[in-house]
Structure 1
Amino acid sequence: MKSTFLFFLGILISNLALAQSNLNGRILDKADNTPLTNATIILLNQDSILKYHTRANENGNFEFKKINQEDYILIVSYPQFELYSQPVKLNKNTTLENILLSSQANLIEEVVVTGKIPIRIKGDTIEYDAGSFETEKNAKLEDLLRRLPGLTVSGDGAITAHGKSVSKVLIDGEEFFGYDPKIAIRNIRADAVDKVQVYERKSEQAELTGIDDGQRFQTVNVLLKEEARVGIFGNVEGHVGTEELYTANLFAAKFNRTERIGITANTNNMGASSGGREGSLRMNSQITGEPKNTSVGANYENQLFNKKVNVNANYNFNDASNRNERESYNKEIVSADKIQETNSTSNNENANQSHNIRSQFRWRIDSTSNMEVHVNANKSQNTGFSGSKSLMLNNETDSVRDYNSTNSNFGDDLSNEIRINYRKRLNKNGRSINLNLNNEISQSNQESDVFQRTYLYETNRETIVDQNRFTDNNRNNFSTQLQFSDRITQQLHFTLGYNFGYNNNTNKVDAFNNTATGRTLDEQYSQNLINKTSNQSVVANLNYNAEKFNFSLSNRTNYRDQSLNDSYHDIDLDRTFWDNDLNINGNYKISNRKNINASYQNNFDVPSFSQLQPTQPQTSPIFVQEGNPNLKRAVNNSFRLNYNTMSLLKGTSWNINSSIAFKNNPIVNKRTVTDTLTTSTYVNVMGKTSWNASLNTNYGKPIFDRKVQFNIFSGANYTNGFTYTRYSQDGSRDNQGQYELNNTQNASILTGFSFNEQDSKGLDYDFNWRVNANNQRNSLQQDLNYTNLSTGGSAFLKYFLPKQFNITTHINYSIEGPTKLYKESIQQFYTNVELSKKLLKNQSLVASIKAFDIFKTYNTTNRNVSDTQFSESTQLMLTRYVLFGLKWDFNKNLGKKSND
């Protein structure tokens, strides 16, 4: 590991030492030869890609030091002056003649110079010019996003923008394969992209209804070039490997001005079902279990009837199965002097087939009204088998019980949903009405054969459950919303609304005992549940929008009536709750590059009937779940503060995201633990407050003459929660001691850094390292409180060799320190390597050999800590294998101008 790091560092230093030229000059006012202080000077390469930029000093002088000896385009800009451009050919040291700029007031004719500005800030939106960031030939949108300052893309396709996770990727404002956005970023060509926009959007519900619910989602919107809106493109990829591995992928799309058609297909036995990225070196490449996957998808978008109707529809078929084996070791704090330990083994097999349809229709009825209709449907079938064995011990020595279980099941699910939203503008000043209707119907049927054997060592007693269980679950949920919006002033407007919802859910479980005399219904494991809920709410929203300051205040007052009936258990409940949801959000634009956002939310956790229902059907002889009909609401208060700043000239960015949330009278688990079984219910911790707080920041800037992007990040998180527990060795649930309140506190601090250079020349690399300190405290057994450290990092290197050969390697290392319960550290290290060769004149065919975990050092042990439970587990996993692959990219016209 040390030699690999030193080699990587040497490559980096030698790569940075290539820049040897200097360029300097002076910027003056043509009218009187006075210096133009802070004039902006930009150097573009011959492909108009930004390479360097700086500002003139108080004397109008500027200088670029140690830059590559290439041919450049120099662009100079200064407010209220002409935009200046000239080609520059560098020698070892180049001094330009004085550059004289004319004031726009003195210009007789308009002078237009086309120059690209890599990054712009437009209100709350950060916009990147895709052409200013170089990518290799046939690169995908995923590769382009990795090159944009402030954006990162993980190996599995997860995008982070300015410290926040991106939840949605749009293509020209529309979802493309909405059921899996990774399909878009892994198949849209980078050379077809014009702009990339990053912004926060409200929730879909808030956008439809106009009522701000306080939720914000980081969004990436990709704008295609005009010429890229017509063409055919796609790729075909296949791999075969050791251990009889295989994967094959197809993606094809046809774009017209208003119509987009896309298809995708995949089959493999490596565990991934879509996106065509099985075997990627950037992702966790371990194959868990023995998976098989086949999927087919299609996407259709079009604008019909003179662009009055917009259609966006997706279909996806998926057939997935897996077989896995697992071993686990669990420790649980059950009292101040008792720890239960469980050693378990399990094996399971499952298979699922599903058909999924998502469609959206937008109809512009006339200039004042429009309608949206969403129709979604899903149909699936599943089969499975699971078997498990476990042995429980008290305090590492005393055997408590053996538990064996097998379960075979078959089921099918069917659901459909329709949503209609109609909006009508009543006048030119913003007065409007909005009507929203939503209806969702679902049906699920399951059949299972269950066998469970429990042996108790203390009493030498054996209990057997041998049952056939039949489950029918039906849901019908309807809701409607009506809102009226109007403008008080040009900046201030309001919305008033009324919502009504009705849910009718039935869940019937018939569990029949298999006995020598036949089958009998066991009501302890059965239920015949009818759950009806009606909601009525009044909503109000006030928004203020000015040039620099935006403010929104929304409030929802809700009345809920819940009724529940279970004829098997003689349950007849009817409860009513008042609920109020208040959201305040403010955004202040300090300057074009600085922004601060603050929000506050107050709402309630209203108990569900799964928490209220006193008696619930038992699922195993060692666990009983009960409800508490006397539960009260829990009160939530949360605050969020975000600050971000970006310097377009320096290429720096700094983001701070902070939040704190309090929950008064929280609803928590309350467990009674005996050697026979565990009984769990819910209770309010009256007079107590659980809370969590987090603070995260990241700072990025280019270094080494702007060739390397450097980022440093840090964060802190704290949670404080409660649980109730009591323990008795006596199997009886009566005459037991008092409940003990356990207060769990977790605190963690994280810091790390990363640097990368990706210009598709010589060497691309991406290196990151992190250090994390974690502290956990339990009030019940304070001798188990601990502080441990973990650290780790990864390096991704891609060497661009002659004759279109590339070598890529991914190295990952981490170590997690010991705790009071686990005395040994867990180390993780693995290395993946790929050799690839681009073929054909247009480099559209790529042959590759990929080797994963080449030293066979991957550690399959996984450790988890949560509240009062500590567990380690291993499972069936393939880590070392080799893949041989071919990938062909095809492209007809897409992204090509007519004269190309």
Structure 2
Amino acid sequence: MKRVILLFSFLLVHQLFAQQSIKGAVADQSDNAALTNASIVLLDTDSIMRYFTRADENGAFQFGKVAKGSYILIATYPKFEIYSQKLVVDQKPIVLDRIQINSQSNLLEEVVINQKIPIKIKGDTIEYDAGSFETEKNAKLEDLLRRLPGLTVSASGEITAQGKTVSKVLIDGEEFFGYDPKIAIRNVRADAIDKVQVYERKSEEAELTGIDDGVRLQTVNVVLKEEARKGVFGNANASVGTQGLFDANLFSAKFDQTERIGVTGSWNNMGSSGDASRIRMNNQIIGDPRYKSAGVNYENNFLQRKLHLTSNYNFNNNSLANESSSYNKRVLNNGITQETTQEERSMSDNTNNVLRAQVKYKLDSVSNLNVQLNGNTGTTSSANTSNSTTFRNENRKANDFSRDNSRSSEKDGMDLRLDYRRRLNKSGRSMNIHLNTNIDNTKGTNLIDETTNYYDSLGQYERSVIVDQTRITDNKNNRLSGSLNINEPITKDLYLTFGYSFSTAKQSALINAYTNMPNGQEPIRDTLYSQDQQSLARNNGLDINLNYNRDKININFSNKTIYKYQELTDSYRQIALNRNFWQNNLQANVSYRISNSQHVTLGYQNNTNVPSFAQLQPLQPPTNDLYRQLGNPDLKRETNNAINVNFSKFSLLKASSLNINANANIVNSAIVNKSIIDSLGRTTATYVNIQDNSNWNARVNINYGKPILNGLVQFGPFASLFYDNNYQFINGDLNRNNTANATIGINANKQSSKHVDFNVNIGLGLNQEANSIQPQFDNTAFRSSTNADLKYFLPYKFSLTQVIFYSYTGKTKVFPQPIQQFYMNLELTRKLLSSESLLLSLKAFDVFNSFNNTNRTVGNSNFSESQQQTLSQYLMVGLKWDFNKNLGKKND
């Protein structure tokens, strides 16, 4: 923290002592009349706006504090020519001669001025001009996104835009390695990007059918420069370190207008999905991991651009051996508490193969066909050994539990989707036909060896329950669905979509649990732990969607009414259930453009959740003797109501942004799991509806961003507030749990490749929790977090990166000691070759060996702490080659 404060102080002092003023006036050349409110802009040599002001009623203007350097002064006034002049700010203030501008009506020839605007709003889309935001040489899309007002990128690569998590990253409107957006943001070069667009898109289902389902996906679309659509680029890196650590990664791509080929690979023993040795990441190595992956992506157009193919294949193998310990305290009613401590050792190994392909085919001038095929296959194996002990009221032993289980399984699946769209006449009428089939199969073998010992009211041993079984599982799912929708223009601004949809889903879930007998005797099937479940669900729905679109307003209303039939049988447990019912889902969204720089949206959703057969059936097969799940045949549906509001405001000249989004959710007749814990620590649970009370929550997020220090730093304060009112049952009694979280903070980013670059995020928060049962455990706790990475540019192409992380989690009534986590990582690099494309690095993680690996969760009268086998301090030496041929480079 001291280094961060000193850095900001240095930059501030430097700016204060290296600034001069510029004065001048603007007038009409014909009569020398003052041009009141004329716009005056100072651009740097890269055409990036640094200062902005307006002329007063006398035409005079002044820039009070301008940093030393070379600038271009631009003066503009409506219906007048644009005036420009080069300036050099040095040791003395500048007083300009009176600037006289000629009216365009007096111009003898046309003057064309190309001006870059950093941020534009186009309808619901916020568009950033990439060239207006500085990044380091050889920077990637990830670095550019950190510079854009309203966007943040976490150390692990998660993107947030206007306070919402980004789920899709597109390159020129298409997914590139769609299974992992991090591949795009960490490998596409910043200097190849023309624009970055941020918007909310409808779900893929809604876009293809025309029926709005209310789902919105925050999306980033990257528009490449024209010259960047052809070339070869990529990077390769390898690192080795202490403790036998290694990390190797490869990414290579070839762009040729419409054809795109990409290859990626990763291999490490550090437990990350790629680039495990990134200095910005939280690089604590959990357990003993192994990771391998390989992928290929191919895109192209065929048949004179009528057919577009996107396909990718990914293989990954992920294994982990780990040890952990945990403590859990549950606050029950009547002054009772229950504490459980556990020690655990586990091992897992997962292998997956995934193939995705999409074909968009323009059949003729009025019809299009979209075909998607996804297939996957994989294997999983795991083993778990653990021992736990449960106490009542901290001193009476209730039970202890031990297990030594293992599992192996194989899975495969296929999903095929066809969407056909045809325009029926010139008035805008169109038809959408959708078909989808999905198949999933999983087979597995579980070896179960569990012993539960119970103790009486005095803590004396009473009895034992031993479960020694082999469980064979076989799950199959088969689903077929389709829809037909007609889009009809009622007026030029109002569109109606109506349609019919159906689906049929069959599922079988077989568990044969055999008790292992001594002396080689034939195993006996245990009916309590077995099931032979068959289920069928048929849906028939009517859809309607109204969309009204004018210049400034868009209103969308959709409603889906579904008739459902469901049945379930289980021959092992003599279960036969069936039911039919109606279900309704309503969506409404209003989007209004207040001005070119202000935008507001309002959304409302109403839907019902019908209890599943798993919640209705009398008894589900248990997994061990400590937990029993019962169903409730009388369970009713719950009703959800949600409302969300979003307001965005941008200053185009100042490149500042303000975003406020708020949402609230109310659930009536909420379905909850009501559990009863007996004196031996066994839990019996059943599903019930919460009557006479509603569960609800509300959240508000505010973030603001603007350039400061002459545009050198992108600065953004933020704040959020969350409140949750939740009813649930604790040991049979209804408990009201209220949780409130408040957070304020700032983030700042500088990337000028001069002196020091940094990315800083500081947050402070307050958590409050209150319960109606045992309010003596109500608690208010303070929390804070600081993430900072600073890059110092040194002579001879050396640089030093310093990463600082600190977090504080306050104490609770159960945990009287707060948790403080701190680590610092360092990386010394040297750029090699004249192109600086080869990078040699030495990295030190957790320099002071100070990281605390305690994890704590608190909520709903449940308090937990856990620790895992962790390696946080180690060294690594690495070499990275960043290659680029033609991409982003203009031809002479």
Instruction: Give the CA deviation at 1:579.
Output: 1.0
Relative to structure 1, the CA distance from residue 306 to residue 100 in structure 2 (aligned partners, 3 Å threshold; closer, same or farther) is farther
Instruction: Give the CA deviation at 1:777.
Output: 1.3
Distance 1:159 1:519 in 2: 53
Is 2:786 the partner of 1:782?
no
Instruction: Give the CA deviation at 1:132.
Output: 1.5
Instruction: Give the CA deviation at 1:539.
Output: 0.7
2:57 is matched with which residue?
A: 58
Distance 1:763 1:55 in 2: 32
What pairs with 1:527-546 in structure 2 (closer than 5 Å)? 527-546=531-550
Is 2:510 the partner of 1:508?
yes
Is 2:809 the partner of 1:811?
no
Distance 1:85 1:117 in 2: 17
Relative to structure 1, the CA distance from residue 40 to residue 216 in structure 2 (aligned partners, 3 Å threshold; closer, same or farther) is farther
2:472 is matched with which residue?
A: 470
Is 2:685 the partner of 1:680?
yes
Contact 1:85/1:113 (8 A) holds in 2? no
1:872 is matched with which residue?
A: 865
Instruction: Give the CA deviation at 1:7.
Output: 3.4
2:146 is matched with which residue?
A: 146
Instruction: Give the gaps of 5 or more residues in structure 2.
Output: none
Relative to structure 1, the CA distance from residue 364 to residue 101 in structure 2 (aligned partners, 3 Å threshold; closer, same or farther) is farther
Cα deviation code 1:711-751 (max 9, x no counterpart): 2211111111122243xxxxxxxxxxxx3111111111111
Distance 1:399 1:38 in 2: 80
**Greater mean deviation of Cα atoms: 580-589 or 23-32:** 23-32
**SS of the residue 1:489 aligns to:** coil
**Greater mean deviation of Cα atoms: 887-896 or 55-64:** 55-64
**SS of the residue 1:809 aligns to:** strand
Instruction: Give the CA deviation at 1:5.
Output: 4.6
Amino acid in the other structure paired with 2:595? S
Query: Which of 344, 347, 355 matches 1:346?
Result: 344
Instruction: Give the CA deviation at 1:702.
Output: 2.6
**Greater mean deviation of Cα atoms: 154-163 or 227-236:** 154-163
Distance 1:653 1:236 in 2: 37
Which TM-score applies when normalising by structure 2?
A: 0.97
Q: How many residues align?
A: 884
What pairs with 1:698-847 in structure 2 (closer than 5 Å)? 698-726=703-731, 739-847=732-840
What pairs with 1:243-642 in structure 2 (closer than 5 Å)? 243-274=243-274, 277-458=275-456, 460-516=462-518, 517-642=521-646
Distance 2:854 2:564 in 1: 46
Instruction: Give the CA deviation at 1:658.
Output: 0.8
Instruction: Give the CA deviation at 1:15.
Output: 4.1
**SS of the residue 1:97 aligns to:** coil
Amino acid in the other structure paired with 1:780? I
**Greater mean deviation of Cα atoms: 385-394 or 639-648:** 639-648
2:182 is matched with which residue?
A: 182
Distance 1:37 1:441 in 2: 70
Distance 1:26 1:205 in 2: 58
Distance 1:36 1:569 in 2: 88
Instruction: Give the CA deviation at 1:6.
Output: 4.7
**SS of the residue 1:335 aligns to:** coil
Instruction: Give the CA deviation at 1:18.
Output: 5.6
**SS of the residue 2:3 aligns to:** helix
Cα deviation code 1:301-341 (max 9, x no counterpart): 10111000001101000011010111000011232321110
Instruction: Give the CA deviation at 1:709.
Output: 2.5
**Greater mean deviation of Cα atoms: 545-554 or 716-725:** 716-725
Cα deviation code 1:457-479 (max 9, x no counterpart): 21520110000011000000111
**SS of the residue 1:16 aligns to:** helix
Cα deviation code 1:602-645 (max 9, x no counterpart): 11111111211211111111111122121111111111111111
Distance 1:520 1:843 in 2: 70
Relative to structure 1, the CA distance from residue 529 to residue 167 in structure 2 (aligned partners, 3 Å threshold; closer, same or farther) is same
**Greater mean deviation of Cα atoms: 513-522 or 115-124:** 115-124
Relative to structure 1, the CA distance from residue 676 to residue 151 in structure 2 (aligned partners, 3 Å threshold; closer, same or farther) is closer
Distance 1:391 1:117 in 2: 64
1:113 is matched with which residue?
A: 113
Q: RMSD of the TM alignment (CA)?
A: 1.5
Instruction: Give the CA deviation at 1:559.
Output: 1.2
Contact 2:342/2:389 (8 A) holds in 1? yes
Contact 1:84/1:113 (8 A) holds in 2? no
**SS of the residue 1:145 aligns to:** helix
What pairs with 1:639-654 in structure 2 (closer than 5 Å)? 639-654=643-658
**SS of the residue 2:178 aligns to:** coil
Amino acid in the other structure paired with 2:426? K
Instruction: Give the CA deviation at 1:123.
Output: 1.6
Relative to structure 1, the CA distance from residue 111 to residue 339 in structure 2 (aligned partners, 3 Å threshold; closer, same or farther) is same
Instruction: Give the gaps of 5 or more residues in structure 1.
Output: 727-738
1:169 is matched with which residue?
A: 169
**SS of the residue 1:12 aligns to:** helix
What pairs with 1:79-158 in structure 2 (closer than 5 Å)? 79-91=78-90, 92-158=92-158
**Greater mean deviation of Cα atoms: 65-74 or 194-203:** 65-74
Amino acid in the other structure paired with 2:708? I
Distance 2:681 2:865 in 1: 24
Distance 1:752 1:90 in 2: 35
**SS of the residue 1:243 aligns to:** helix
Contact 1:49/1:133 (8 A) holds in 2? yes
Distance 1:256 1:125 in 2: 28
Query: Which of 658, 668, 671 matches 1:667?
Result: 671
**SS of the residue 2:595 aligns to:** coil
Distance 2:364 2:841 in 1: 55
Amino acid in the other structure paired with 1:330? N
Distance 2:542 2:240 in 1: 60
Contact 2:670/2:689 (8 A) holds in 1? yes
Amino acid in the other structure paired with 1:179? Y
Instruction: Give the CA deviation at 1:789.
Output: 1.1
**Greater mean deviation of Cα atoms: 831-840 or 146-155:** 146-155
Distance 1:861 1:120 in 2: 45
Instruction: Give the CA deviation at 1:74.
Output: 2.7
**Greater mean deviation of Cα atoms: 14-23 or 773-782:** 14-23
Which TM-score applies when normalising by structure 1?
A: 0.96
Amino acid in the other structure paired with 2:663? S
Cα deviation code 1:65-117 (max 9, x no counterpart): 33233222333333333333333333432233333333344433221123322
1:734 is matched with which residue?
A: none
Instruction: Give the CA deviation at 1:300.
Output: 0.4
Contact 2:149/2:716 (8 A) holds in 1? no
Amino acid in the other structure paired with 1:453? T
1:885 is matched with which residue?
A: 878
Relative to structure 1, the CA distance from residue 759 to residue 18 in structure 2 (aligned partners, 3 Å threshold; closer, same or farther) is farther
**Greater mean deviation of Cα atoms: 755-764 or 83-92:** 83-92
**Greater mean deviation of Cα atoms: 880-889 or 31-40:** 31-40
Distance 2:135 2:193 in 1: 12
Cα deviation code 1:260-301 (max 9, x no counterpart): 000001100011123xx3222222111111101010001001
Distance 2:362 2:33 in 1: 57
Contact 1:50/1:133 (8 A) holds in 2? no
Contact 2:239/2:879 (8 A) holds in 1? yes
Distance 2:890 2:277 in 1: 34
Relative to structure 1, the CA distance from residue 97 to residue 368 in structure 2 (aligned partners, 3 Å threshold; closer, same or farther) is farther
Contact 1:476/1:505 (8 A) holds in 2? yes
1:4 is matched with which residue?
A: 3
**SS of the residue 2:614 aligns to:** helix
**SS of the residue 2:186 aligns to:** helix
Identity across the alignment (%): 48
